[in-house]
A and B are shown apart, each in its own frame.
Chain A
Amino acid sequence: MTASPKYLLYIAMLVALVLAPLGQGNYIVYVLCSWLIFSVAAMGLNLTLGYAGQVSLAQAAFMGIGAYITALMTMAGYHWLLAMPFAILSCFGIGLILGYPALRVQHHFLAFVTLAFNTLVFLVLRNEEWLTGGSFGLVPIPRPDFFGFSTFKQVPFYYFALVCFLLAAGAMAWIVRSPWGRAFKALRENPIRANSLGLNTRLMTLLAFAIGSGFAGLAGAMMAPLVQFIEPGSFTLIHSLKILLMVVVGGSGFYYGPFLGAAIVVLLPELLRFTEGYYLIIYAAFVLVLMVFSPNGLIGLWQKLMDRFRTQQVERSDLKDGAQL
C-alpha cells in the first residue's frame, strides 16, 4: 500500500505529458518537443556528470553527430527507425574512442578533450560541404511515418517525441537502478575505494561517458526531423555548455534533475522574453549564485530545505519523549 501514492504520481505525470500539447498553438507544441529532446540529451550528460563525476563539454557535438547522421540517412530514403540506432551507436562508439585516452590520465582531462572535440566537430560540419552542406546546412529533413501514422503535423510529432523520451527515460531508470548505476555512483563518491572493491574504474567511467554520448545521439536523431533544417551553428560549444547547465541547475546526480533543468533552460527564455538580451546574463548569474549556495542544484536545494523542515519535526518529537519521561 505504501507504494501506491508513488504509482499515482507516475500516472499523473504521464497524463500531464499526454495532455500537454492538446489545444496549444503550434509554437508551444514545438517548445514542448524541444524540451523533450533536450531532456534526453541532459539525461545522458547527467549519467556522465552526476553519476560518474566526469565533465563532458561535447554533448551538443554528439547531438550534432546524431542529427547529421539521421538527416543524411532519412534524406537518402532510409527510414528513421534505421537511422536512429545508427546515430546512437555512432555516438557511443565515438565516445569510447574519445574517452579512452582522456580517461587514462588524471585531472579533468575529459573536459578539455571534449572541449576540443566540440570545436573540431563544428569545423568538420562547416568545412566538409560535400557531405554536410557546410554552413548552409541540410534541408529538408523528412518527418517519419510509422505504419500510416504521420508525424508531419506538430501534435503527432510531439507524441512521437514523447514515446522516444519515455523509452529513453525508462532505459536510464534501468541503468541507474542496476549494479552499473551503483558502480557509477561509487565512482563519483570515492573512486579509490571503488577500485579496491574490484571495480575497474577506468572502464566504468568510459562506459558512463559513452552511454551519455549515446543519449545525445538519440536527442540528435529526434532533433533533425523536428527542426527539418540543421546547420553547424546549432551544435557549438555554447550549446554544450547550455546542456551542462541544464544538468547542474536541475540537480546533477538526481534522476529528475535533467528534466527540471531542461524545462528551465528551454522554457524560461519564453517566459523571460521581456528581458530580451539580458536573459543569458540573468541565467549565468543565477547559476553562479546557485553553485555557491547549493552545488546540488534546485533539487538539492529543495532536499536541503526539506531536511531542515524534517529535523525540526524530529526535534519536536524528541522534546515530547523528554516530557513523557
Chain B
Amino acid sequence: MSEFIQIIVSGLSAGSIYALAAVGFTLLWQASQTINFAQGEFVMLPAFFVLGAMGLGAPMWLAIAVALGLSVLLLGAAFKKLIVEPMLPHGTLPLIIATIALGLLMKESVKEFYSAQGQPFPPIFPTEVVRVFGAAISVADIMNLAVSFAAILTLQLFLQRTRTGRCMQATAQNRGVAEILGVNVKRMVMYTFLINAALAAIASILITPIYLAKFSNGETLGLVAFIAAIVGGFNQIRGALVGGLLIGVIDNLSAFYVSSEYRAAAPLILLIVIIMVRPQGIMGTSEGRTV
C-alpha cells in the first residue's frame, strides 16, 4: 500500500509538470490554431539556459531568472514574430512542418553546440524524504506539484479575473467578435505565446532534475504534452491539467506493474483509445466535425 502511494504521488508530480506543457500547447492552439510540434523542445531548451548561465558563474536563482527571460523572448516573442506570423496565411499544414523543423533545429543545435551527453542538473528543492502513512514521499515531488498547481491556478485567475485575461479568452473563442469588441487581437495572441514560453520554462526547470539535461528530452516530453492535451480535452485548460496528471500516474503505474520495456507504450495506447472512444477528450466538449 505504501508503495502504491509513493507511485501515485510521484506520478502526480511528474504529471503536473506534463500538464504545464500541455496547457501551453492548448493555449497556442486556441489562440492561433498553431499545433506546436516543437513543444517538447520548448521544454528541453530552458534547462540548458540555466546550465549556460550557471556556467558563466551566475547563482542558481539568477540563472533561473535568466532562463525564464530568454525563454519568453526566444520561444515566445521570436517564435511568434519570425515563424508563426509570416506562416499563418499559408494555413496550418506548412506551419506544422515548420514547427517540426524548428524542433529538429533546436535539438541538433543543443547536441552540437552544448553536449550530446546528458548533463546533471542541480536539484532546486531539497532531496529529503518525508514519511506519510509509511510511504516515503520526496519533498521535491510535493514541491513540483505545488509549483505546477500554483502556476496553473495563477493562469486561470489571470484569464478569468483580469481584463486582459478576459480579452485573451474572447480572442480564443471567437476572433471576429473579439475584434469587433475592440480587443487588440494581435497583442492577445502574442501574450498567449509569451505565456506558453513561460510555462515551458517552468516545466523545464522542474522536470530536468528528475532526468538529466539532454538534447533528446523533448521527444518524450513533446509527445506526452500532446497526449495529455488530447486525452484531457483539446479546448480546455482543465482538460490539459487532468490529462497531464492522468498520464503521469499511468506512466508510473505501468512502469511498476506492467513492464519497464513497454512503459512508453501506456500513454500511446491511452491516446489511441481516447481518440476512438471519446475524441473530444475526457473534459472536452464536442466541437462537431469539420467535414
Are B97's CB and A287's CB within 8 A?
Answer: yes
Complex contact A116–B223 (CB within 8 A): yes
In Å, the complex CA distance between A191 and B230 comes to 23
Stretch at the interface among A102-110, A145-153, A206-214: A102-110
The answer to the question of B265 belonging to the interface, with a C-beta cut-off of 8 Å to chain A, is yes
> In the complex the two chains form, is B272's CB within 8 Å of A101's CB?
yes
User: Of the candidates B91, B102, B276, which one forms a contact with A288 in the assembled complex, judged by CB atoms under 8 Å apart?
Assistant: B102
Assembly CA distance A292 to B87 (angstroms): 6
Q: A106-B289, A106-B291, A112-B226 in contact; A288/B101 too (CB < 8 A)? A: yes
Contact pick for B291, options A116, A195, A281, A291, CB 8 Å: A195
Binds B, one of A72-80, A83-91, A156-164, A237-245: A237-245
Beta-carbon contacts under 8 Å, B75-128 to A: 82-83, 86-87, 90-98, 100-102, 104-105, 108-109, 111-112
Grouping DSSP codes into helix (H, G, I), strand (E, B) and loop, the B interface class, with mixed when no group exceeds half, is helix
B69 contacts the other chain (Cβ, under 8 Å)? no
Instruction: Determine if A191 and B101 form an interchain contact, defined as CB atoms under 8 angstroms apart.
Output: no
Overall SS of chain A's interface: helix
For the complex, give the distance between the alpha carbons of A98 and B210 in Å: 34
Q: Is the CB of A295 within 8 A of B90?
A: yes
Using C-beta atoms within 8 Å of the partner chain, give the interface range for chain A.
Answer: 35 or more
Residue of B whose beta carbon sits closest to that of A279: B108
Q: Which residue of B lies closest to A236 (CB)?
A: B219
Chain A residues whose CB sits within 8 angstroms of the CB of B93 once the complex forms: 49, 53, 55, 295
Chain A 101-127, CB within 8 Å of chain B: the 1/0 string? 110111111011101110110010011
B286: min CB distance to chain A, Å: 9
* Cβ of B165 to closest chain A Cβ, rounded Å: 25
- Asked if A113 meets B98 with Cβ closer than 8 Å, knowing A106-B290, A237-B219, A281-B108, the reply is no
A residues in contact with B178, CB < 8 Å? none
Contact between chains at B87 and A287 (CB < 8 Å) = no
Query: Which of B86, B101, B265, B276 has a CB less than 8 Å from the CB of A123?
Result: B265
Q: Given contacts A107-B234, A281-B108, are A101 and B275 in contact (CB under 8 A)?
A: yes
List 20 A-B pairs, Cβ < 8 Å: A101-B276, A104-B279, A109-B279, A111-B35, A116-B267, A116-B272, A191-B291, A238-B104, A241-B100, A281-B108, A281-B112, A284-B104, A285-B105, A287-B97, A287-B98, A288-B101, A291-B90, A291-B95, A295-B90, A295-B97
Which 4 pairs show the lowest CB-CB distances between chains A and B? A295-B94, A284-B105, A105-B279, A287-B101
Residues in chain B within 8 A of chain A (CB atoms) = 35, 82-83, 86-87, 90-98, 100-102, 104-105, 108-109, 111-112, 219, 223, 226-227, 230, 234, 261-262, 264-265, 267-269, 271-272, 275-276, 279-280, 287-291
